[in-house]
Amino acid sequence: MALPKLEVPIYELTVPSTDEKIKYRPFLIKEEKILLIAMESGANEDVIQAVKQIVSECTFNTLKLGNMPMFDVEYIFLQIRSKSVGEVSKLKILCRDDGETYANVEVDLTEIEVQVNDDHTNKIELTDEMGVIMKYPTIDSFSTAGISDITPENMLDVIVACIDKIYDKKGEEVYDSKDSSKKELMDFVEGMNTTQFQDVQAFFDSMPKLRHEVTVVNPKTKVENIVALSGLNDFFG
């Protein structure tokens, strides 16, 4: 005789970038095990792939995660996590006033939102005649580029992975990044001057992201520190 199956609650959320409503469930022990193994490995790329697998399974394989902005996937995972192991995340945060003392803080995950900068744009004019249209980093673009997080060391690779189109007003041409090799795109980026490169970097600095500010009191100095949490790593602790 087959054993009865445990009922799993189903919830609904709104995807930040599209306002699409999707259904999801908490992750189960089998999926939590995947995450724990990835976290024990200490490799960010393993954690990202575990998050992708868990989000896919907990949203009933209805999403094309590879094409979704990273901040969408992070937000969905945070909602899944809050319904799975609790809505409060306990963190140890470094106090900035002395740079050495850690304070305990609790963060309500239900209050975390994707923050959008009103001045943000994905169209960047490099000259009066030429510019680029950017796309948001995705899990798949990170994996293809062999990176797991945006850092100064891999910024060139991130930019190359996130160029969608290059347009030339003078020649009335639009060049799709899919039609160019990675080397061609890298040569294009490396041909920018400092101001142009900074304008492209500003796209990543201002793009939507999980962000939440917490007030932390240093247990030694009693000084209040306002700390901005951003991205899954910060909310995991």
Q: Which of 100, 89, 132 is nearest to 225 (CA)?
A: 100
Q: Which of 184, 189, 171 is nearest to 134 (CA)?
A: 189
| Rg value, the chain, Cα | 20
pLDDT at position 144 is 53
Calculate the alpha carbon distances from 169 to 179, 183, 197, 206 in Å. 19, 23, 20, 26
pLDDT at position 168 is 93
Q: Distance between CA atoms of 230 and 104, rounded to whole angstroms?
A: 17
| The two structure tokens encoding residue 164 | 């969608």
pLDDT at position 140 is 78
Q: Distance between CA atoms of 232 and 210, rounded to whole angstroms?
A: 8
| The two structure tokens encoding residue 89 | 């995340």
pLDDT at position 147 is 47
DSSP letter string, 101-112: -EEEEEEEGGG-
Which residues face 94 on adjacent strands? 102
Phi, psi values for residue 5, rounded to 5°? -100, 140
pLDDT at position 25 is 96
Low-confidence residues of the chain: pLDDT under 50: 146-147
For residues 120, 235, 107, 228, the Cα torsion angle rounded to the nearest 10 degrees is -40
pLDDT at position 142 is 64
Calculate the alpha carbon distances from 236 to 102, 112, 142, 158, 184 in Å. 15, 13, 20, 23, 38
Chain length of the chain: 237
